[in-house]
Amino acid sequence: MRLRRFALLSAALIACSAHGADATAFHAKVAALYSFEPQNSSDAQIDANSKRLDDFWSEVKADPKRYVPLLRRELRDERNAAFFFYDGAKLLLAVSRERKDQALALEAIPRADLRGIQPTDYLRTVHWFAVNGFNTSKAALRVLDYPDFKAFIPQHALTLGQDYCLIFMLFPMPDSNFVPALIERLGTEANVVSQKSILLALWYAMSPQAKAASARFVNDTSKPLEARNYARDLAQRKAQTNAALALSTAEKLKAERRKAMVRISDEALTEFDSLTVMLLAKQ
């Protein structure tokens, strides 16, 4: 019996040692492969790195049982390069359908420097999470750090600035998921473009909490006049007379807006705004 227990213990120690070596080697590979940021690289460097990353993806996808635990570990390791947190998260999404891995990927992607990320891909990725029941507030609000953030949807010849990218990444969710985060960010945001994006999202939310935060902003003379005037103009928007005849409740209208935002298109925006006009009539 003692020999059997000793054999089992020895096997466990060997397995742990092998896992540790595997984790060390994998971390070293990640550190080497992602020792660059696309926004600071030449086209030739990007092409060369893309080939190496394609090979890395193929290796991981060929043996997910071995690599998924290692990938999880690396996505939690804040020492890794910024670009890895986005590319590694997308890789995890490609090899695992587990909800916990999707949540881990969502937690990782806002750590990336969005100057090195294709904006439309970022928009579509975060929007997918919002549509599928995740709280995307942290990832969505990351675009506020980049006033020039802009995405293009070629199927609809639609260009979305920072403001409407934020709307599409938030409004598939109930507004209670993100209004507190928007209000907190509005208190510290210094860039006028990003302030306006937050104010627009708060106006669309049309909740008492959102309205109160916008009103405080309007009356805060320490805030930029341009942004305060923008908030004031939003607050003064009126509904069309016939919209006031809508029979739906405010909550039903908000639910219909969430349904409209499951797709990224000009038609979705048109429907979203039409429902917003009806909602405005309920205020």
133: left (phi over 0), alpha (psi -120 to 50) or beta: left
The DSSP H or E segment spanning 212 is helix 208-218
Which phi and psi angles does 30 have, rounded to 5°? -60, -45
- Same domain for 122 and 112, yes or no, is no
Q: How far apart are CA 222 and CA 64, in angstroms?
A: 53
Q: Does residue 269 form part of some domain?
A: yes
- Same domain for 205 and 283, yes or no, is yes
Residue 224: domain span: 118-283
Place of tokens 């038609």: 267
Helices (H) and strands (E) in the chain, counts: 14, 2
Q: Is the separation of the CB atoms in 92 and 68 below 8 Å?
A: yes
Cβ-proximal residues to 27 (8 Å cutoff; 6+ apart), any chain: 73, 74, 77
- Same domain for 110 and 134, yes or no, is no
Residue at a domain's end among 72, 97, 116: 116
CB atoms within 10 A of CB 270: 11
Distance from chain centroid for Cα 148: 16
- Same domain for 34 and 110, yes or no, is yes
Q: Does residue 28 form part of some domain?
A: yes
Cβ-proximal residues to 252 (8 Å cutoff; 6+ apart), any chain: none
Which phi and psi angles does 153 have, rounded to 5°? -105, 95
Q: Does residue 233 form part of some domain?
A: yes
- Per residue of the chain (283 residues), give pLDDT as tens: 444 543 433 333 333 333 555 999 999 999 999 998 888 888 888 889 999 999 999 999 999 999 999 999 999 999 999 999 999 999 999 999 999 999 999 999 999 999 999 999 999 999 999 999 999 999 999 999 999 999 999 988 899 999 999 999 999 999 999 999 999 999 999 999 999 999 999 999 999 999 999 999 999 999 999 999 999 999 998 765 554 455 678 899 999 999 999 999 999 999 999 999 889 887 7
**How much is the pTM?**
0.89
Name the percent of the chain in helix, strand, coil, to the closest 5. Answer: 75, 0, 25
Q: Is the separation of the CB atoms in 174 and 258 below 8 Å?
A: yes
Mean pLDDT (the chain, rounded): 90
- Same domain for 136 and 269, yes or no, is yes
Would you state the pLDDT for residue 59? 96
- pLDDT tens for 112-148 read 999 999 999 999 999 999 999 999 999 999 999 999 9
Would you state the pLDDT for residue 12? 36
Q: How far apart are CA 140 and CA 152, in angstroms?
A: 17
Nearest alpha-carbon partner for 63 in 105, 86, 33, 91: 91
- pLDDT tens for 165-183 read 999 999 999 999 999 999 9
